[in-house]
Amino acid sequence: MAYLDNIRTFVRVYELGSMSAAGRDLRVSAAVASARIGQLETHLGVRLFQRTTRSLAPTEQGRSFYEGARAVLEKVEEAEALVSRITENPRGTIHVAAPLGVGRRLIAPELPGFAATYPQVDLRLRLSDRMIDLAAEAIDLRFFLGRPADSDLTIRQIASCARLLCAAPDYIARRGSPRDGAALVSGAHDCLNLRFPGATEFRWTLMTPEGPRAYPVSGRLECDDGDVLTDWALAGAGIALKPVFEIADHLAAGRLVPVCIETPPLPVQMACLFTHRRLQDPKMRLFMDHMAERIGGAVAAAEAVAGAC
């Protein structure tokens, strides 16, 4: 197992670009990760990384070894999955990524229950509103809202999530309540915008009597964290476009109220993204089934609360 641990450590150092990051991921110290790489280099008789005090980069031999090492680990995972199917005892680690708001409200609360049911499965959750490359960052599956850019991965649809344009009563008292999308682009309102990587403009697609229409909106505040936009809306700084499940409690308490009722935003799909081969792993299928059921229920419950307001 020591040699396999060394290979696993090498792969994570290669993918994460850091001894300390790989150590955290594998739950060992950076010194242990470095020692494992040293043992592997001694065994192979080559340098796998060029190290300086400020950087770490794979050598040509390291880049060549990575592909084979990754294939070895995939074969081991396949063998473990086969044993799991036979014994009905899933084991291993699942690396999960999700946007901040989705992760905090819908994903993270469900992980302890899954872990309790399957005690030999470890779960690693990474929350970020930036786009995450599954292969480059060794993520098994990523939850997302909207339409992913990845075309060669498998998508499992989970729930259709209603959205609202909302603002604080204080903002409406000062600036008025816009009735439709045309009011948003009149210059009379501040829109709070979620900044996505590579975005050059902001468009909110609303349902009009003529059908869906994209409105180019603007405002003085933008951020790449959706929860910050909620905080700004609560503070009366502008109008936010939010999934209902993220703001249901604020709507119920009257801290936020819907606007643009005549042209509501279109719902957004929640789904998870993964490579096809991961679906063959029993622990992955069990995890996705577990999360799909509970996320769908949580979204429906939140929308019921908001609908009763």
pLDDT at residue 274 tops 70: yes
Residue among 157, 183, 106 nearest 268 (CA): 157
86 pLDDT band (50/70/90 cuts)?
A: very low
Q: How far apart are the first and last CA of the chain?
A: 58
pLDDT at residue 71 tops 60: yes
Residue among 264, 242, 236, 268 nearest 180 (CA): 264
Instruction: Return the axis-axis angle of helices 282-307 and 244-253, rounded to nearest 10°.
Output: 30
What is the distance between the alpha carbons of residues 287 and 115, in angstroms, rounded to a whole number? 10
Site of tokens 């794979």: 58
pLDDT at residue 150 tops 60: no
Q: CA separation (Å) from 8 to 2, 83, 231?
A: 10, 20, 41
User: Residue 233 has what pLDDT?
Assistant: 97
Chain Cα centroid distance, residue 28: 25
Q: How confident is the model over 143-163, as a mean pLDDT?
A: 82
β partners of residue 142: 97, 273
- What are the residue ranges of helices labelled H in 88-136? 100-102, 111-117
Q: CA separation (Å) from 132 to 49, 61, 140, 143?
A: 24, 27, 11, 10
Helix (H) or strand (E) segment spanning residue 7: helix 2-16
What is the distance between the alpha carbons of residues 243 and 147, in angstroms, rounded to a whole number? 15
pLDDT at residue 52 tops 80: no
Q: How confident is the model over 150-156, as a mean pLDDT?
A: 74
User: Residue 74 has what pLDDT?
Assistant: 75
Looking at every residue in the chain, the average pLDDT score rounds to 85
Mean pLDDT comparison of 70-79, 141-150, 282-291, highest-scoring range: 282-291
User: Residue 172 has what pLDDT?
Assistant: 96
Q: Are 56 and 50 in contact (CB under 8 A)?
A: yes
Q: Is the full-model pTM beyond 0.85?
A: no
DSSP letter assigned to residue 265: B
Lowest mean pLDDT, pick from 50-59, 227-236, 277-286: 277-286
Site of tokens 């994460």: 16
User: Residue 279 has what pLDDT?
Assistant: 62
How much of the chain exceeds pLDDT 70, in percent?
Answer: 90
- All domains of the chain, ordered by start, with CATH? 1-88 (1.10.10.10), 92-160+271-309 (3.40.190.10), 163-266 (3.40.190.10)
Lowest mean pLDDT, pick from 36-40, 170-174, 276-280: 276-280
φ and ψ at 112, to 5 degrees?
A: -60, -35
Chain Cα centroid distance, residue 284: 16
Q: What angle do CA 266, 203, 305 make, to 5 degrees?
A: 35
Per-residue model confidence as pLDDT tens digits over 189-246: 999 998 765 554 588 999 998 999 999 998 899 998 889 999 999 999 999 999 999 9
Residue among 208, 205, 202 nearest 220 (CA): 202
Higher pLDDT, 279 or 2: 2
Q: Are 84 and 252 in contact (CB under 8 A)?
A: no
Higher pLDDT, 306 or 300: 300
Q: How confident is the model over 104-108, as a mean pLDDT?
A: 92
DSSP letter assigned to residue 267: P
